[in-house]
Structure 1
Amino acid sequence: MLVLANAIDQMNRAVASVIRWLALIMVLVQFCIVIGRYVFGFNSIAAQESVLYMHAALFMLGAGFTLLVDKHVRVDVFYAKVSHVARRRIDIFGHLFLLIPSMTALLYWSWPSVRNSWKILEGPISVGGIEAVFLLKSLIPAFCILILLQSLALLVHLFHEKSAA
């Protein structure tokens, strides 16, 4: 199980190492949009939507890595002040009773929309936009799966840490 958990960690690291470049590309595209609009009087809805797509991909696909490196949003009213054992218990509870069920529910309830979007190859958000809303919606199940896998890997690490102690 530990080997599988480490493989999931590596997968999320690999995804993060690829999508981190979207931040730079997104800034450059946005810069070109602003220059095009205010200097040359040129506007492109597709270019504007590409920034939206990159922004969504950056956050949705990077969430698993964020969870891996423990940089996610945490409500740590008590977490920072408790012992390591209590933190581990809070983490296990959070994964088993909050994160995994919520990601499973999100995956279940979003899947029909994603499936229908692929069925009709859902078109652009705006006239002249990118004709690939189905790809944008596909980020939802990808997000859920990456988070679910990383959560399971973290649980394996937490239980392995307990048995090693």
Structure 2
Amino acid sequence: MAALQRFADIVDRLNDRIGACAAWLIVPVIALLFLQIPLREVVGKGNLLANDGGQLLHATVFIVGVTYTLRWNGHVRVDLFYSRLPPRRQAWITLLGAAVLMLPWLWLTGRWSIPIALQSWRQLETFPETGSPGYFHFKTLLLAYVLLVGLQALAMMARAVTTLLDRPGDASGT
């Protein structure tokens, strides 16, 4: 059980660090998206590149934010009963939800995304409307999403199993 707890802690720390780094991307997202109008109206160029960069950084923040939100249990769910349930029942719901809903969906998403991302990288795909470089990063974010959310789902499952295997009154937790 200690190994499961250690695994979950490592994944949580990883996602916390990635989330803290990605949070700094919000500043350039705002700057790039704000600069579009002055670049278009005053300079007369650069607004499309600023838009493409802003979209790419925004997508990165979103992808990392999904995992960070899961890590801190801040995701949206229909919570009619869950918060009032005892920890063991919450653990069962988390375990079953991750195993039956999240992991199969992530597996399919990953399976379908790998060839798309590889093809995009081979072509060094550009943004379709502008020809700006870097569109292949969007497709790479699909794989990052699957990896990060998948790890967090496994960490959630590990914590749920730890809760379910923990015997009440056992101070050692084993």
2:171 aligned residue: none
Shift of 1:81: 4.0
Work out the number of aligned pairs and report it.
Answer: 163
Regions of 4+ moved over 6 Å: none
Residue type at the aligned position of 1:118: W
1:159 aligned residue: 161
Describe how 1:57-136 pairs up with structure 2 within 5 A. Answer: 57-127=60-130, 129-136=131-138
Q: CA deviation digits over 1:20-72, x for unaligned, max 9?
A: 0111221122222223334x153421111111101110011222211100111
Between the aligned partners of 1:73 and 1:151, the Cα distance in structure 2 is 15
Between the aligned partners of 1:49 and 1:125, the Cα distance in structure 2 is 10
Describe how 1:11-22 pairs up with structure 2 within 5 A. Answer: 11-22=14-25
Does the 8 Å CA contact 2:92/2:160 hold for their aligned counterparts? Answer: no
Between the aligned partners of 1:5 and 1:88, the Cα distance in structure 2 is 14
Does the 8 Å CA contact 1:63/1:146 hold for their aligned counterparts? Answer: no
Between the aligned partners of 2:23 and 2:132, the Cα distance in structure 1 is 22
Q: Which has the larger radius of gyration?
A: 2
Query: Given the alignment, which residue of 3, 19, 24 partners 2:6?
Result: 3
TM-score (norm 2): 0.85
List alignment gaps of at least 5 residues for structure 1. none
Does the 8 Å CA contact 1:45/1:126 hold for their aligned counterparts? Answer: no
Between the aligned partners of 1:131 and 1:160, the Cα distance in structure 2 is 46
Shift of 1:10: 0.8
Between the aligned partners of 2:162 and 2:148, the Cα distance in structure 1 is 21
Does the 8 Å CA contact 1:15/1:62 hold for their aligned counterparts? Answer: no
RMSD value, Cα: 1.7
Does the 8 Å CA contact 2:106/2:150 hold for their aligned counterparts? Answer: yes
Does the 8 Å CA contact 2:29/2:57 hold for their aligned counterparts? Answer: yes
List alignment gaps of at least 5 residues for structure 2. 169-174
The alignment-based identity, stated in percent, is: 26
Residue type at the aligned position of 1:161: T
Does the 8 Å CA contact 2:91/2:163 hold for their aligned counterparts? Answer: no
Shift of 1:86: 2.1
Between the aligned partners of 1:5 and 1:33, the Cα distance in structure 2 is 42
Between the aligned partners of 2:115 and 2:70, the Cα distance in structure 1 is 26
